[in-house]
Amino acid sequence: MLKDITIGQYFPGNSIIHRLDPRFKIVITLIYIIMLFSGGNYICLAVGAAFTFGAILLSRIPVKMFWKSVKPLLPFLVITAVLNLLLMSSGEVLWKWKFLRITEDGLNTSLFMVIRIVLLIMGTSLLTYTTSPITLTDAIERLLSPLRKVKFPVHELAMMMSIALRFIPTLIEETDKIMSAQKARGAEIDTGSFATRAKNLISILVPLFISAFRRADELATAMECRCYHGGEGRTRLRQLKSAPRDYIALAVTVLFLVGVIVLGKLV
């Protein structure tokens, strides 16, 4: 049951977006975020939307998957929209009831914000949909590697992340076993008030933590046995190689950014 949980929402594929160098993908996503926030009018937003949907089409991932990533954030979107709608007091009043009123500016701002956030979620989801967590970790490690000069533990962080990713399925399986073992002895895990369920959770977490520490200890010994001594002098099996397409993708994104900035100034 718990095994079905997917962590990271990677959709394996072989589209051009999948094949882009993950380092470039991260940088492109950052530029994309700047692009969304630098345009102040609907035309800029339309350009951003065109970019987003173009990329989604190229990735060949069904659009409804993106709806899935927006859905959990709907309450947040509604709250943002309502607050913007009611708190903006400038502009022509469209509707009024006691102290509540909706102005044209308010309507505009809230619509604008909602579209912007939806685009933001869709664009960043595209990154995690087309890049496996382990590749992503790798790319982050390399992008941050200049920080090593200022003693920032880049390698250690990446190693921790990749070990965490490695052990997620193992620990989920273990949780499943512990829950079954406790159910077999009459524990009621899924029923009862919130307080009892929270209390029952402790009886699952304690053995899980103890076992996680034991695993950590054994893993550390096994890593030492294989000559692990930190990031110094390490070579890598996974080579990240940038191809012309990566530079083209980056150039296109930068062009879009410039376009949005220019349009924002002109219109």
Name the 3-class secondary structure at 131: coil
Name the 3-class secondary structure at 9: coil
Q: Is 219 in the site for other proteins (CB under 8 A)?
A: yes
Tokens 């309502």: give the residue.
82
Name the 3-class secondary structure at 158: helix
The smaller minimum CB distance to other proteins, of residues 220 and 248, is found at 220
CA distance linking residue 127 with residue 31, whole number of Å: 13
Give, as one character, the DSSP assignment of residue 11.
-
Q: Least distance (Å) from other proteins to the CB of residue 234?
A: 5
Q: Is 151 in the site for other proteins (CB under 8 A)?
A: no
Q: Least distance (Å) from other proteins to the CB of residue 223?
A: 6
The smaller minimum CB distance to other proteins, of residues 98 and 241, is found at 241
Task: Give every CB contact of residue 207 below 8 A, 6+ residues apart in sequence.
Answer: 178
Name the 3-class secondary structure at 101: strand
The smaller minimum CB distance to other proteins, of residues 219 and 255, is found at 219
From 60, 101, 148, 215, residue interacting with other proteins (rule: CB under 8 A): 215
Compute, in degrees rounded to 10, the torsion defined by CA atoms 204, 210, 215, 221. 170
Number of C-beta neighbours around residue 266 at 10 A: 8
From 98, 227, 244, 265, residue interacting with other proteins (rule: CB under 8 A): 227
Task: Using the rule CB under 8 A, give the single segment among 72-80, 84-92, 145-153, 225-233 that binds other proteins.
Answer: 225-233
Q: Least distance (Å) from other proteins to the CB of residue 57?
A: 27
Q: Is 228 in the site for other proteins (CB under 8 A)?
A: yes
Q: Is 19 in the site for other proteins (CB under 8 A)?
A: no
CA distance linking residue 219 with residue 226, whole number of Å: 11
Number of C-beta neighbours around residue 189 at 10 A: 16
Interface of this chain with other proteins, residues 86 to 145, rule: CB under 8 A = 133-134
Q: Is 176 in the site for other proteins (CB under 8 A)?
A: no
Q: Least distance (Å) from other proteins to the CB of residue 29?
A: 22
Name the 3-class secondary structure at 181: helix
Q: Is 241 in the site for other proteins (CB under 8 A)?
A: no
Q: Which residues bind other proteins (CB under 8 A)?
A: 133-134, 162-163, 165-166, 169-170, 173, 214-215, 218-219, 221-229, 233-239
